[in-house]
C-alpha cells in the first residue's frame, strides 16, 4: 500500500501542520546533538519553497508536572532551525489559545511558525500522550493539511499525530517518515535476500519479542551483546553475573526450539569480574564462563563466524551493540560488526539509538544505508506491528 507523501500534496497558500521530531538532547538549554533538526529539513524546506504557511510542532522529553517544563521549551530549537533555514522562525510559547491562533492567521506564504512542546499538554491529564479527542481536533482546526514527519513517535497514538490526522482533510507523510518506511518497512516486508538481522544491546526484555517476527522474515538472526545470556542460561550454561532477564528464560527456550537453525549464538565472549573498562578480562568459550564473571563483549571466534554469515547478506538490520562499546576494551565486537557491515554490498540499516550512537562515535555512520531516527518505533516495526503514526497517513 502506497502512502501519500508530502510531494503529492498541493500546499501552495495552505496552512500546513507539520509534526516533526525535534526531541533533541539538551544540556543547560544548549542542544548537544541537532541531528533530528537536520533530518527534518527536507520536508520543511520543501513546503516553504512551495509557498505553504508552515506550522511546526514537536514534543521534547517527558513532561508530567509544571516543574518538568523547565528546560523543555522548544524555543532553542526554533532558533537553531532558523539558522539552518536561513529565515525567521516565529516561536509561540503556547500550545493553544488566542495568541497562537492569531500568529498562525498572520503567516504569509513561505513563512514558518513553531509552537511550544506538545507534551506541555500532558500536565493537564496527559492530553497529548493519551490522544485527548478535544486536543487533536483543536490542533487540526489550525490548518488545512497535516504532514507527519515524526518517526520517533510513530509507534504511539498521540494527539499530535493520530489525533490531528483523524480530524483533518488531508494527511501525508514527510520525507523522513517516507525514508523510514522505505528502509525498515522494506527490509521487513520485501527484503533482498539473504536477510540477516543482528540483535544485541541491553534491553533484552523489549527486544526478545522481535525475534518471533524476525524468525519468519529473516534468513539468519545473529545474537550479540546482552541478549546472548538469556539464550545461554536457558540451555543450562553458567553465565555468572552477566546481564539476563530471568522472566524471559522460557521465551528464550521457545525461540531456540522454533529457530530451525536460524538463530546463531556467540561462540566466545570477553569476560571480566567487574563492570569496568580497566578490570582484568579474558576470552571465554560460551560454556566456560565462571560464576563470578560477566560477559561484556563477543569474542574473535564469534566475530569470525558472524562475518562468514554476513559476507553474502543483501539486507542487514542491526539493533543493539555487540558489547559495552562505551568501554574501549569491550568495543571490539561492535567495531568488528561496523567494519564487516561497512564493506558489504548490501542494504544496511541501524535501528537502535545506542547502536546508532556506537556507529557514529566509532566513525562508521556514513557506511550505512540508513540509520533510523526512532529506536522504539523501528523495533515495533521489526516486530511486525502496525505503527499508528504511519497508519494514520492517507493511502494514495
Query: Which residues contribute to the site for Mg ion (CB under 5 A)?
Result: 353-354
CA gap 195, 184 in Å, rounded: 12
- Residue 323 binds: one of Mg ion, ligand ADP, none (C-beta under 5 to 8 A by kind): ligand ADP
What angle separates helix 249-258 from helix 204-217, to the nearest 10 degrees?
A: 10
CA atoms within 13 A on the CB side of 215: 17
Q: Which is nearer to ligand ADP, 89 or 227 (CB)?
A: 227
Q: How far is the CB of 366 from ligand ADP (least distance, A)?
A: 18
Interface residues with ligand ADP (CB under 6 A) are 200-203, 225-226, 243, 295-296, 319-321, 323-324, 326, 352-355, 375
Q: Are 389 and 382 in contact (CB under 8 A)?
A: no
Report the residue number whose CB is nearest to Mg ion: 354
Q: Is 203 a catalytic residue?
A: yes
- Residue 164 binds: one of Mg ion, ligand ADP, none (C-beta under 5 to 8 A by kind): none
CA gap 164, 110 in Å, rounded: 22
Q: Which is nearer to ligand ADP, 143 or 201 (CB)?
A: 201
Q: How far is the CB of 218 from ligand ADP (least distance, A)?
A: 17
Exposure string (b/e) for 343-353, b if CB count within 10 Å is 16 or more? ebebbbbbbbb
- Selected catalytic residue, list 36, 80, 179, 262: 36
Q: Which is nearer to ligand ADP, 148 or 228 (CB)?
A: 228
- Selected catalytic residue, list 61, 185, 376, 384: 376
Q: Is 7 exposed, middle or buried (0-12, 13-18, 19+ CB in 10 A)?
A: middle
Q: Which is nearer to ligand ADP, 61 or 110 (CB)?
A: 61
CA gap 291, 269 in Å, rounded: 14
Q: Is 236 a catalytic residue?
A: no
Q: How far is the CB of 375 from ligand ADP (least distance, A)?
A: 5
Query: 130: how many CB neighbours lie within 10 A of its CB?
Result: 15
Q: How far is the CB of 353 from ligand ADP (least distance, A)?
A: 4
- Selected catalytic residue, list 50, 203, 207, 220: 203
CB neighbour list of residue 154: distance below 8 Å, 6 or more residues apart: 148, 161, 177, 180, 374, 377, 387, 388, 389, 390
Q: How far is the CB of 35 from Mg ion (least distance, A)?
A: 15
CA gap 268, 253 in Å, rounded: 20
Q: Cell triple for residue 213?
A: 517476527
- Residue 191 binds: one of ligand ADP, Mg ion, none (C-beta under 5 to 8 A by kind): none
- Selected catalytic residue, list 152, 209, 226, 353: 353
Q: Which is nearer to ligand ADP, 128 or 354 (CB)?
A: 354
- Residue 324 binds: one of Mg ion, ligand ADP, none (C-beta under 5 to 8 A by kind): ligand ADP
CA gap 171, 43 in Å, rounded: 14
Q: Which is nearer to ligand ADP, 37 or 322 (CB)?
A: 322
Q: How far is the CB of 375 from Mg ion (least distance, A)?
A: 6
Q: Is 376 a catalytic residue?
A: yes
- Residue 374 binds: one of ligand ADP, Mg ion, none (C-beta under 5 to 8 A by kind): none
Exposure string (b/e) for 66-105, b if CB count within 10 Å is 16 or more? eeebeebbbebbbebbbeebeeebbbbeebbeeebeebbe
- Residue 326 binds: one of ligand ADP, Mg ion, none (C-beta under 5 to 8 A by kind): ligand ADP
Residues catalogued as catalytic: 36, 203, 353, 376
Amino acid at each position: 500500500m502506497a502512502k501519500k507523501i508530502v510531494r503529492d500534496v498541493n500546499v501552495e497558500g495552505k496552512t500546513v501542520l507539520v509534526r516533526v521530531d525535534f526531541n533533541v538532547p539538551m544540556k543547560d538549554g544548549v542542544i548537544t546533538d541537532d541531528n533530528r533538526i537536520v533530518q527534518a529539513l527536507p520536508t520543511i524546506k520543501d513546503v516553504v519553497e512551495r509557498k505553504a504557511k508552515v506550522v511546526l510542532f514537536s514534543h521534547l522529553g517527558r513532561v508530567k508536572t509544571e516543574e518538568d517544563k523547565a528546560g523543555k521549551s522548544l524555543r532553542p530549537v526554533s532558533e537553531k532551525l532558523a539558522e539552518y533555514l536561513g529565515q525567521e522562525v516565529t516561536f509561540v510559547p503556547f500550545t493553544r489559545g488566542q495568541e497562537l491562533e492569531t500568529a498562525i492567521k498572520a503567516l504569509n506564504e513561505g513563512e514558518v511558525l513553531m509552537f511550544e512542546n506538545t507534551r506541555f499538554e500532558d500536565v493537564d491529564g496527559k492530553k497529548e500522550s493519551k490522544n485527548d479527542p478535544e486536543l487533536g481536533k483543536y490542533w487540526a482546526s489550525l490548518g488545512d493539511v497535516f504532514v507527519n514527519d515524526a518517526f520517533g513517535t510513530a509507534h504511539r497514538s498521540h494527539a499530535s499525530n493520530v489525533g490531528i490526522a483523524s480530524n483533518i482533510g488531508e494527511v501525508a507523510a514527510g520525507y523522513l517518515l517516507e525514508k523510514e518506511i522505505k528502509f525498515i518497512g522494506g527490509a521487513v516486508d520485501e527484503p533482498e535476500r539473504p536477510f540477516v538481522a543482528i540483535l544485541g544491546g541491553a534491553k533484552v526484555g523489549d527486544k526478545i519479542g522481535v525475534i518471533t517476527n524476525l524468525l519468519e522474515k529473516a534468513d539468519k538472526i545473529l545474537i550479540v551483546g546482552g541478549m546472548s545470556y538469556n539464550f545461554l542460561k536457558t540451555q543450562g550454561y553458567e553465565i555468572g553475573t552477566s546481564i539476563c532477564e530471568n522472566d524471559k528464560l522460557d521465551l528464550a527456550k521457545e525461540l531456540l526450539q522454533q529457530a530451525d537453525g536460524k538463530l546463531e549464538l556467540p561462540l566466545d565472549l570477553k569476560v571480566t569480574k567487574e563492570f569496568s573498562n580497566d578490570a582484568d578480562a579474558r576470552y571465554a568459550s560460551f560454556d566456560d564462563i565462571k560464576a563470578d564473571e560477566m560477559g561484556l563483549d563477543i569474542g574473535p571466534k564469534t566475530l569470525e563466524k558472524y562475518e562468514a554469515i554476513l559476507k553474502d547478506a543483501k539486507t542487514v538490520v542491526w539493533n543493539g551493540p555487540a558489547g559495552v562499546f562505551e568501554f574501549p576494551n569491550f568495543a571490539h565486537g561492535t567495531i568488528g560488526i561496523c567494519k564487516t557491515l561497512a564493506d558489504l554490498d548490501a542494504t544496511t540499516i541501524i535501528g537502535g539509538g545506542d547502536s546508532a550512537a556506537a556507529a557514529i562515535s566509532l566513525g562508521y555512520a556514513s557506511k550505512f544505508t540508513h540509520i533510523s531516527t526512532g529506536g522504539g518505533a523501528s523495533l515495533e516495526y521489526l516486530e511486525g506491528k502496525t505503527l499508528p503514526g504511519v497508519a494514520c497517513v492517507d493511502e494514495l
